[in-house]
Amino acid sequence: MRDLYMLMMPNMVLLDFAGPWQALHYANRAEPRLRLHMVGPQPDIALLTDLQLSGIQMLPESIADNAIVMVIGTHGHQYTNISAEHMQSIAWLRDTVKPSHTLVTVCAGALFAAQAGLLRDKRCTTHHSLCPQLREVEPYANVRDDRIFVQDGNVYTSAGITAGLDLTLFLIGQWWNQHVAMSVARELVVYLRRSGDDPQLSPWLNWRNHLHPKIHQVQDIICQHPEQRLSLDQLADQVHMSVRHLTRMFRDITGISLHDYQQRIRLDYAKRLLEETSHSLERIAELSGYGSARSLRRAWHSEHGVAPSEVRKTAH
């Protein structure tokens, strides 16, 4: 169980906090993996919306080596007139966050991390309107203003406001798994997206950066039931479309054929079973919808050029 500390400061933007907190709460409900803490320089803070948030723990003197610190953004004008509470928070970041820790910033939270010296020589981002200021605060950072979020090692930074939720869903996929990330996204009624900066695009999250509800519904059905060999007729019936219309629309909107999408999901699910279980290849083939080990081997070799047994050797 890891500790995650959300750093809360005066004039915090409510959405910067509420989206990630709720998403992590839902993920913990599926499988408890994080202890969530709200910490700050004072027990009560005023939000940008004139609301008051209470019950905040005081800044801890030290945190575990595997802890996560998430810096929540505040209203932009604070950086030209930083209060004593903000200075205290910056000093705490500078003194507390070490290379072993995971640092996450939401929106304008990146400026506080930069002022603490934590973004030097890092690729990072923030709200598009604050990117020039972030470059001024930390001239040695590689600031990207064309990304939803950016990962550089164990430092994660997100763009404006709701991008913090995109980053949190990505992190849930890493800290839990993609099934939990998709479940949380459905609970929050949002769609999963990935940063184009990430070279390793998971099939569970890739081809999701669109807004067509019926195509998302088809993708959800496939992802929720990778063990089922769902036919095109069955999928089309689920969304009340003809097979021809569905297959054409799926490719037009996602950029991949429906058949290839199913194949990628089932192969990735088989990969996870190979890495995380001791099931026989025959059993994994059944669970991933291939029916037989021979069919799985054929599909795997066609996609990866090696036998599935090689993945298990690497994982173990």
Q: How is 57-119 classified by DSSP, letter by letter?
A: EEPPS---TT-EEEEPPB-GGGGGS--HHHHHHHHHHHHH--TTSEEEE-TTHHHHHHHTT-S
Q: Rounded to 5 degrees, what are φ and ψ at 108? A: -70, -5
In a domain, 184, yes or no: no
| Model pLDDT, residue 197 | 46
Q: What pLDDT is recorded for position 90?
A: 96
- Residue 251: per-residue pLDDT: 95
Please indicate, yes or no, whether residues 133 and 267 belong to a single structural domain of this protein.
no
| Together in a domain, 82 and 226 | no
Alpha-carbon span 47 to 53, nearest angstrom: 7
Measured on CA atoms in the order 46, 51, 55, 60, is the torsion positive or negative?
Answer: negative
Residue 200 lies in a domain: no
Are 143 and 218 in a shared domain? Answer: no
Residue 205 falls within a domain, yes or no? no
In-domain check, residue 187: no
Coil vs helix vs strand at 304: helix
What is the chain's pLDDT, residue by residue, as a tens digit (316 residues)?
A: 999 999 999 888 889 999 999 999 999 999 999 999 999 999 998 886 678 899 999 999 999 999 999 999 988 655 566 789 999 999 999 999 999 999 999 999 999 999 999 999 999 999 888 999 999 999 999 998 867 889 999 999 998 778 899 899 999 999 998 888 888 987 887 766 554 444 334 677 678 767 688 998 999 899 888 888 899 999 999 999 999 999 999 999 999 999 999 999 999 889 888 887 889 999 999 999 998 999 999 999 888 888 887 777 665 5
Tell me, yes or no, whether 108 and 25 share the same domain. yes
Structure tokens that stand for 236 in this block: 């089309």
Question: Residue 146 corresponds to which tokens in the numbers above?
Answer: 């064309």
**Residue reference for tokens 């030290």:** 62
Contacts with 252 (C-beta within 8 Å, 6 or more apart), sequence order: none
Task: Supply the CATH number for residue 41's domain.
Answer: 3.40.50.880
The pLDDT score that the predictor gives to residue 32 is 96
Instruction: Provide the 10 A C-beta neighbour count for residue 221.
Output: 15
Give the total number of structural domains in the chain.
2
The predicted pLDDT at position 193 comes to: 58
pTM for the model: 0.68
Q: CA–CA separation, 232 vs 258, rounded Å? A: 8
Is residue 6 included in any domain, yes or no? yes
Based on the fold, state whether residues 167 and 218 are members of the same structural domain: no
| Co-location of 233 and 121 in the same domain | no
Give the containing element (helix H, strand E) for 37: strand 34-40
Q: What is the CATH number of the domain that holds 291?
A: 1.10.10.60
Q: Are residues 275 and 162 in the same domain?
A: no
Residue 248 lies in a domain: yes
For residues 67 and 13, state if they share a domain.
yes
Strand 155-158, strand 149-152: pairing? antiparallel
- Domain check: are 156 and 249 in the same one? no
Report residue 231 CA to chain centroid gap. Answer: 31
Can you tell me the distance from the alpha carbon of 25 to that of 86, in angstroms, rounded to the nearest whole number?
A: 26
**Beta pairing partners, 7:** 39, 71
Q: For residue 109, give every residue at least 6 positions away whose Cβ sits within 8 Å of its Cβ, in sequence order, or none.
A: 7, 16, 70, 71, 72, 73, 74, 126, 157
The answer to whether residue 291 is domain-embedded is: yes
CA torsion through residues 157, 160, 164, 166, sign: negative
Domain containing residue 224: 210-316
